[in-house]
């Protein structure tokens, strides 16, 4: 699809209010397209007033600018990510990845109410977001057409990158916050911040080069630890430090305490984008990191070794599904279904100490489905487990061990 196909038509633009959104809104308007800007309110911590985004988009030529409150939907999705331990390639909590799914779904619902059939976005042709917008739209409403200016020759003739976009906006007096001097870009939501591009593309630039937006680096955290206690019921936080919370409240409180103590601030990753490019990101996810550690402590108590092995495989698989834009497909639905029994067992209270970027286990109680028994594991008393019972067990194991050596499969001496 090209801009020629859109002239004289009414479309929805997924608008964050950043440089790409402002540029695309004005450029499309100049090309004779009626732009309805739709912005998801997903708890962006870098926006003092999310209403300002709506004002910016109107100033950039949008015929209408709509805000859709998706904070609760994002927080609910985050609970699934937490209970599944779904961190991409071991470190990234999929904060932007899951937010793109929730955002696109919310925009499709808004488009349905307005009878608009084209969704435009400002994601580049090198990143993951273009895939997420496209796949979510295709899966949830195959009748919707997706327009990406960064894949349109007409747009590329005007813009080669950020420099040209900034110049375009400045020449027209558009209210952008980006500048030629800004050293990197940031994407923000309730779950975390993603910093990338600019100077961060160079690996001799340290992770603490960023200016943290959700807390402090561990070196700047308080010199005294703080106790954090979360109570879960069936995988959902219901209390933090004795106060009742819903999903959104749990994340906000965990963000506050985790960020204050440098938890999940400055997570450096060189990751594999879905499009085949290696990229460098620096992430902030204090609440997800803090709550994620507490979920893990409970999981250790309730999963046996076979369940744990299966859980870990599903965790990695679901994380990749989210990262690549497949959270709403059949495979992800099956994975969430398979994880549901484990989530249901996560009932209990976990107390941790938070100090200079670390989360240290302190205690747990009321873990109804815990498999841990101090009597069975004790090195002090026999209890119900008789050490002598291991003799036959080890003799059986030894048969296979000896056979490998006899068969020449193991070399020694």
Rounded CA gap, 156 and 212, in Å? 33
- Can you tell me whether residue 208 is helix, strand or coil? helix
Find the helix or strand (DSSP H, E) in which 269 lies.
strand 265-272
DSSP 244: E
Q: Catalytic annotation on 185?
A: yes
Catalytic residue selected from 37, 87, 129, 212: 129
Catalytic residue selected from 54, 56, 87, 100: 100
Catalytic residue selected from 185, 279, 349, 353: 185
For the chain, the maximum distance between any two Cα atoms, rounded to a whole number of angstroms, is: 84
Q: Catalytic annotation on 21?
A: no
Q: Catalytic annotation on 20?
A: yes
**Closest of 79, 73, 59 to residue 17, by C-alpha:** 59
Strands ordered across the beta sheet of 185-189: 185-189, 192-196, 278-284, 265-272
Catalytic residue selected from 20, 41, 152, 187: 20
> CA separation (Å) from 28 to 33, 162, 171, 260?
5, 17, 16, 42
Q: Catalytic annotation on 100?
A: yes
**DSSP string covering 53-68:** HHHHHHHTT-SEEEEE
CA gyration radius for the chain?
25
Rounded CA gap, 227 and 178, in Å? 39
Catalytic residues: 20, 100, 129, 185
């Amino acid at each position: 699809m090209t801009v020629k196909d859109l002239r004289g038509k009414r479309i929805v633009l997924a608008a964050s209010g950043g440089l790409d959104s402002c540029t695309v809104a004005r450029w499309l308007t100049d090309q004779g397209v009626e732009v309805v800007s739709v912005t998801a309110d997903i708890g962006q911590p870098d926006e003092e007033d999310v209403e300002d985004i709506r004002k910016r988009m109107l100033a950039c030529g949008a015929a209408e600018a709509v805000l859709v409150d998706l904070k609760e939907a994002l927080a609910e999705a985050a609970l699934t990510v937490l209970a599944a331990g779904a961190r991409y390639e071991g470190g990234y909590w999929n904060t932007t990845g899951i937010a793109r799914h929730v955002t696109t779904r919310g925009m499709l619902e808004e488009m349905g109410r307005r009878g608009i059939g084209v969704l435009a976005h400002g994601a580049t042709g090198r990143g993951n977001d273009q895939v997420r917008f496209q796949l979510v739209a295709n899966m949830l409403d195959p009748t919707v057409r997706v327009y990406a200016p960064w894949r349109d020759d007409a747009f590329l003739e005007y813009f080669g990158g950020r420099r040209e976009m900034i110049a375009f906006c400045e020449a027209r007096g558009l209210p952008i916050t980006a500048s030629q001097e800004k050293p990197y870009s940031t994407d923000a939501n309730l779950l975390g911040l993603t910093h990338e591009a600019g100077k961060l593309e160079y690996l001799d630039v340290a992770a603490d080069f960023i200016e943290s937006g959700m807390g402090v680096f561990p070196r700047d955290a308080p010199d005294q630890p703080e106790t954090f206690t979360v109570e879960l019921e069936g995988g959902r936080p219901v209390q933090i430090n004795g106060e009742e919370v819903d999903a959104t409240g749990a994340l906000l409180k965990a963000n506050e305490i985790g960020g204050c103590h440098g938890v999940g601030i400055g997570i450096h990753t060189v990751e594999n984008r879905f499009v085949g490019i290696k990229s460098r990101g620096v992430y902030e996810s204090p609440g997800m990191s803090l709550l994620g550690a507490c979920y893990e402590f409970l999981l250790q108590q309730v999963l046996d070794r076979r369940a744990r092995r299966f859980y870990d495989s599903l965790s990695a698989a679901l994380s990749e599904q989210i990262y690549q834009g497949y959270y709403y497909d059949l495979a992800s639905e099956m994975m969430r279904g398979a994880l549901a029994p484990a989530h249901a067992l996560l009932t209990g209270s976990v107390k941790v100490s938070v100090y200079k970027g670390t989360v240290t286990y302190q205690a747990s109680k009321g873990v109804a489905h815990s498999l841990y028994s101090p009597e069975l594991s004790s090195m002090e008393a026999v209890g119900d487990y008789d050490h002598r019972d291991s003799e036959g067990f080890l003799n059986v194991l030894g048969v296979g061990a000896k056979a490998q050596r006899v068969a020449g499969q193991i070399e020694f001496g």
